[in-house]
Amino acid sequence: MSNKTEAATVKKRVPASHIVAHIILIAGILIVAFPFFWMVVTSFKTDGEAMQIPPTILPKQWTVDAYRQIVSGLPFAKIYLNTILSTVVTTIGQVVICSMAAYAFARYEFPGKRFLFMLLLSVLMVPGQIFLIPQYTIIMKMHLLDTIPALFIPNLFSAFGTFLMRQFFMTLPKELEEAAIIDGAGRTRIFLQIMLPLSKPGLISLVIFTVRFAWNDFMWPLIVNTSTDKMTLGPALSTLQGQYRVQYPMQMAGAVLAVIPLVIVFFIFQNQFLEGVAHSGIKG
């Protein structure tokens, strides 16, 4: 065991090292936070003030003109709605489809299980771009290009989500199901009324991963939907940047609007977000 003198020196040394840690951490925070800060303050400036040299830090006169222009320049309400819709449908779809399949993979034996699970894992390892051209062609053949369903259809099926949920189901004790079987509960009832409620933490991390992915997805919606009223926020920002090249407050207002909903969701569910990510590393 450490003796008294050593404990004393440790006690004395700790604050100094903590101060150094805080200095480094705060310096990092400034770098992390600055783009957010700059985005918000620029969005409240007039075009003229944003381009002023040398620049002002805070707006001399706060204005919401940029936000007004953006709503009149692009069908922003529609774009917002599309993004929300696509995110919600993707999430609900993944929760239902992935948890169903994951439960069967975690708890049942059936012919072809190993083979199917290997296929699932192999989808997980392939870079997404490899599916893009045929996926685009399929959506085109379904006459769904430039429609809302195009935004979410391929994303309803997630190998990652299934894997995540399977890992979670595997950690649950089997005794509960066995007790339910003795009580005469059917397979479907066991899944819906016993397993799903127990797997809430797993479902929450699946929801969080999916929301984060679906809200921020860029290349797929950029490819399939080209009319502004069918777009999601990411590609809409690209359009905004192309159309209003030098209206920086307007661009920043667009960025603020695109980022805010998820930031709010994150602040509400921060522990679940951080835990979900932390666990993803331990599993690997």
Partner 1 sequence: MATDRRVAKEGAPSVRRGVTRRTKMNWVFSYCMIAPLCIGLAVFYLWPFVQNLWFSFNDVTKFNISTFCGLDNYRKLFGDKEVWKALSNTLKYVVVTVPLGMCFSILLAALLNMKIRGKSFYRVLYFLPSITMSAAVAMVWKWIFNEQMGILNSALKAMGMSGHNWLTDNRTALFCIMIVGMWMTIGYNMIILLAGMQGISKTYYEAASMDGAGVWARFFHVTLPLLTPTIFFVMITSIISGFQVFDAVYMMIGKTNPAFDDTQTIVMLFYEQAFDYGHKGYAAAISVLLFAIILVLTIVQFSLQKKWVNYDE
CB 265 within 8 A of CB 211: yes
Binding of partner 1 by 31 (CB under 8 A): yes
Shortest distance, CB of residue 68 to partner 1, whole angstroms?
A: 19
Integer angstrom CA distances of residue 167 from 163, 172, 223, 247: 6, 9, 33, 48
Name residues contacting partner 1, limited to 38-57 (CB under 8 A): 38-39, 42, 50-55
Name residues contacting partner 1, limited to 104-163 (CB under 8 A): 104-105, 108-111, 113, 116, 119-120, 123, 125-138, 140, 153-154, 156-157, 159, 162
Shortest distance, CB of residue 119 to partner 1, whole angstroms?
A: 7
Dihedral sign, CA of 88, 89, 92, 93?
negative
Distance of alpha carbon 108 from alpha carbon 116, whole angstroms: 13
Name residues contacting partner 1, limited to 154-213 (CB under 8 A): 154, 156-157, 159, 162, 187-188, 191, 212
Distance of alpha carbon 222 from alpha carbon 232, whole angstroms: 8
Shortest distance, CB of residue 164 to partner 1, whole angstroms?
A: 13
Shortest distance, CB of residue 78 to partner 1, whole angstroms?
A: 18
In sequence order, what DSSP letters do the residues of 213-277 get, joined into one string?
HHHH--HHHHHH--SGGG--HHHHHHHHHHHSTT-HHHHHHHHHHHHHHHHHHHHHTHHHHHHHH
Name residues contacting partner 1, limited to 57-76 (CB under 8 A): none
Integer angstrom CA distances of residue 129 from 117, 159, 192: 22, 15, 35
Name residues contacting partner 1, limited to 243-282 (CB under 8 A): 248, 251-252, 254-255, 258-259, 262-263, 266-267, 270, 273-274, 277-282
User: Between residues 157 and 229, which has the closer beta carbon with respect to partner 1?
Assistant: 157
User: Between residues 111 and 173, which has the closer beta carbon with respect to partner 1?
Assistant: 111
Shortest distance, CB of residue 8 to partner 1, whole angstroms?
A: 14
